[in-house]
Amino acid sequence: MAQIIIKNLRKDFGNFTAVKASSFTIEDGEFFMLLGPSGCGKTTTLRMIAGLELPTSGEIFIDGEEVSQKPVSQRDIAFVFQMFALYPHLNVRQNISYPLKSQGMSKANISAKVAEVAQILGIEDILKKPVGGLSGGDRQRVALGRAIVREPKAFMMDEPLGALDAEFRERMSEELRALHDRMGATTVYVTHDQLEAMQMGDKIVVMNHGSVEQFGVPQQIYDWPATLFVADFIGSPSMNFLEFSGEISKGDTQVALSRQVFGIPAQLQNAKGDLVFGVRPEHVSLDDNSEYIGEIMAIEYLGTTQIVTIKTLNGVIKARISAAKIVEVGQNVGLAFDPQTITIFDKASGVALLSEANKGVLDHG
Ligand code: ATP
């Protein structure tokens, strides 16, 4: 088990900077997600932590020891590439034993270790089977077994469930998280799937174009997105954004948007310039008394809720409302937003003017 500290980590490939001055801390025993769109630098970051790629600058500490320029063999980290990458000519027991054999461990100790791992993973009955004929789930368990058997300080996983269909993926992600909870080993997990990151992670780093946009627990990131990028990337459907230009004078508690007045959190009373008003679909309600009117363009029924797409003067807004509410396409409806849930961003920088970190500290104009 290990704490991993990343300080100003940077990686250049020629003239291209894949990772720009990243800093964050992964606590001992955490299930930690590196999240972001394709090409944002997640895999490069993971490979630098594992020692498969050396950083251009910056530092990596594993349990207090600086390892930035040390080779893989001196870091004691298991890298789980694709869970299906097994040695096809070996059986399950031989696949799991392999890393221990390479370390020169005695036969008796290997046998005891493999038995222990097989029991944790629930695969005792398939130890003698060739891996070729195994089901997808069992192959995945064997691949995991091979990684955990040597008890490394930490696990690095790069989109391990990426190739699986939705149902199987959900089952394996639950199994993986349960396994982590039993073993408590620090795990760093790369994904581009925000839902997977929110469901599985203790903490999430959101990356974009090689930079860390935000770092925190899933709820912090969902409730207090630090940037427009994070607000847009996290949540499905994502946050609604309405642009407006103007000034919120000191003491104002409301802003006007298309003639309709909205309440705003008290800390935003000094904001001015080109601003973006963000509200999540579940915080938009249909309100007959509101003068902010839009026309329903589409309705997506989801069982207990429905996503209603509404065209307004400021653009399209999505509302997540109870499925019990009767609405129809073409209907005009009034919209209301809960002021406590509104986020306002500076349009040019994309930075949230009010975030959990800078609550009440407005440094804008
Ligand atoms: P994906 O999910 O698509 O793998 P990612 O966020 O993991 O995306 P990386 O694989 O870290 O992204 O790549 C970040 C950027 O660095 C990409 O633009 C990629 O093309 C570039 N890159 C990665 N490895 C190399 C390399 N060895 N040489 C040159 N460029 C590279």
Probe residue for ligand 1, chosen from 44, 47, 158 as the CB with the greatest number of ligand atoms within 8 Å: 44
Which pLDDT score, from 0 to 100, does residue 361 have?
A: 40
Query: Residue 348: pLDDT band by 50, 70, 90 thresholds?
Result: confident
Q: Is the pLDDT at 363 greater than 50, yes or no?
A: no
Residue-level pLDDT at 320: 97
Measured by CA distance, the residue closest to atom 2 of ligand 1 is: 38
Q: Which of 69-73, 143-147, 218-222, 268-272 has the lowest mean pLDDT?
A: 268-272
The pLDDT value recorded for residue 269 is 60
Count of C-beta atoms within a 10 Å radius of residue 127 = 18
Phi, psi of 217 (to 5 degrees): -80, 155
**Over the Cα atoms of the chain, what is R_g?**
25
The SS3 of residue 237 is coil
Q: What is the pLDDT of residue 362?
A: 41
Higher pLDDT, 108 or 168: 108
Closest ligand 1 atom, CA of 14?
A: 29
44 Cα: distance to centroid of ligand 1 (angstroms): 6
3-state secondary structure (DSSP) of residue 71: coil
Q: Which pLDDT score, from 0 to 100, does residue 234 have?
A: 95
Q: What is the DSSP letter of 339?
A: G
Residue 97 has pLDDT above 90, yes or no: yes
Distance (Å) from CA 245 to ligand 1 centroid: 37
Range with the lowest mean pLDDT among 76-80, 81-85, 146-150? Answer: 81-85
Nearest Cα to 283, choosing from 219, 332, 214, 237? 237
Q: Relative to the CA of 41, which ligand 1 atom is closest?
A: 11
Cβ proximity of 213 and 227 under 8 Å:
yes
pLDDT grade for 81, boundaries at 50, 70 and 90: low
Rounded Cα distance, 330 and 320, in Å: 17
**In CATH, which superfamily holds the domain spanning 239-359?**
Nucleic acid-binding proteins (2.40.50.140)
User: Pocket of ligand 1, candidates 40, 161, 191: which has the most ligand atoms within 8 Å of its Cβ, to mutate?
Assistant: 40
User: For residues 12 and 358, what is the distance between their CA atoms, to the nearest angstrom?
Assistant: 31
Closest alpha carbon to 40 in 20, 23, 24: 20
pLDDT given for residue 360 in this prediction = 44
Predicted confidence band of residue 159 (pLDDT cuts 50, 70, 90): confident
Do 4-223 and 239-359 have matching folds?
A: no
Q: Which amino acid is at 211?
A: S
Provide the pLDDT for residue 98. 92
Report how far ligand 1's centroid is from the alpha carbon of 45 (Å). Answer: 10
Distances (CA, A) of 192 to 55, 189, 224, 268: 22, 10, 20, 32
4-223 placed in CATH 3.10.450.50: no
Task: Give the Å distance between the CA of 9 and the centre of ligand 1.
Answer: 15
Better-scored residue on pLDDT, 169 or 238: 238
What value does the mean pLDDT of the chain take?
86
- Of the candidates 35, 36, 55, 58, the residue with the CA atom closest to the CA atom of residue 47: 55
- Within 10 A of 314 (CB to CB), how many other CB atoms are there? 17
Distance CA 118, CA 93 (A): 9
The domain segmentation of the chain, as residue ranges, is 4-223, 239-359
Mutate to test the pocket of ligand 1, among 13, 56, 81, 159 (most ligand atoms within 8 A of CB): 13
Q: Would the pLDDT of 70 be above 60?
A: yes
Q: What is the pLDDT of residue 110?
A: 94
User: Which of helix, strand or coil describes residue 59?
Assistant: strand
The helix, strand and coil proportions of the chain, stated in percent and rounded to the nearest 5, come to 30, 35, 35
Residue 200 has pLDDT above 60, yes or no: yes
The residue-averaged pLDDT of 181-188 equals 88
Read off φ and ψ for residue 224, nearest 5 degrees.
-130, 60
pLDDT tens digits for range 241-269: 988 766 555 555 555 555 555 666 665 66
User: What is the rounded CA–CA span in Å between residue 66 and residue 83?
Assistant: 29
